[in-house]
Copies of this chain bind each other. A is one copy, B any other.
């Protein structure tokens, strides 16, 4: 029965050591290339090079280029939303928002490729992530916006539109990863994440202090 020779469509038995190692290598290499060149700008040969495998060998582990991309996006979605999930509804509102901001800056610093991968995907209209936005992102954002609206109604935060607040936090924090090329030119190469922490702390403190 040579119908399913590759692990892609195999039974859900534990993948072998080699499989885990090589899939990891492929995803790591793919993240590097996709985040820099976007989906269409990336070739399987580049991924294969980066992973130290041959192109057909890549296609032994993944059904095709698109599956690699979608796998990356799926695997990353959770980590990406974690900082927002970590907002504690029982905490002190201003603290919770500020801590969210600082976590997001740290993600920009620690995971710039992941940030650019998402940025690329959204920029191009989220063609391979539409469902994820609806089912993963939207409910979480709705909840968070409602939570913030509640805090504002209780007088524990200054009055702002919660959704635009969230947009502004995403924009300002991810900017440092996504537009790094520009930031580098203007800061003359100095890593200025400390400056970002300080500035954004001031920004959201002044905006939100009740």
Give bound CA distance, A187 to B164, whole Å. Answer: 10
Q: Are B38 and A124 in contact (CB under 8 A)?
A: yes
Q: Are A138 and B185 in contact (CB under 8 A)?
A: yes
Q: Which of A194-210 contact B (CB under 8 A)?
A: 195-196, 198-200, 202-203, 206-207
Q: Which of A4-12, A49-57, A147-155, A166-174 faces chain B? A: A166-174
Is A74 at the interface (CB under 8 A from chain B)?
A: no
Q: Which residue of B lies closest to A42 (CB)?
A: B40
Q: Are B116 and A185 in contact (CB under 8 A)?
A: no
Copies of this chain, tallied across the complex: 2
Q: Are A125 and B200 in contact (CB under 8 A)?
A: no
Is A133 at the interface (CB under 8 A from chain B)?
A: yes
Task: Encode A38-51 as 1/0 by CB contact (under 8 A) with B.
Answer: 11110000000000
Q: Which residues of chain B are within 8 angstroms of A41 by Cβ–Cβ distance?
A: 38-41, 124
Is A75 at the interface (CB under 8 A from chain B)?
A: no
Is A1 at the interface (CB under 8 A from chain B)?
A: no
Give bound CA distance, A52 to B132, whole Å. Answer: 36
The A contact surface, by secondary structure, is helix
Q: Which residues of chain B are within 8 angstroms of A199 by Cβ–Cβ distance?
A: 160-161, 164-165, 168
Task: Encode A185-197 as 1/0 by CB contact (under 8 A) with B.
Answer: 1110000100110
The chain A residues found within 8 Å of chain B, CB to CB, are 36-41, 116, 119-120, 122-126, 130, 133-134, 137-138, 141, 158, 160-161, 163-165, 167-168, 170-172, 174-176, 178-179, 181-183, 185-187, 192, 195-196, 198-200, 202-203, 206-207
A-B CB contact pairs (8 Å), 22 listed? A37-B38, A38-B123, A40-B40, A119-B179, A120-B123, A122-B182, A123-B123, A123-B181, A137-B182, A137-B185, A138-B186, A160-B199, A160-B202, A161-B198, A163-B186, A167-B172, A167-B175, A168-B199, A168-B200, A168-B203, A170-B179, A206-B206
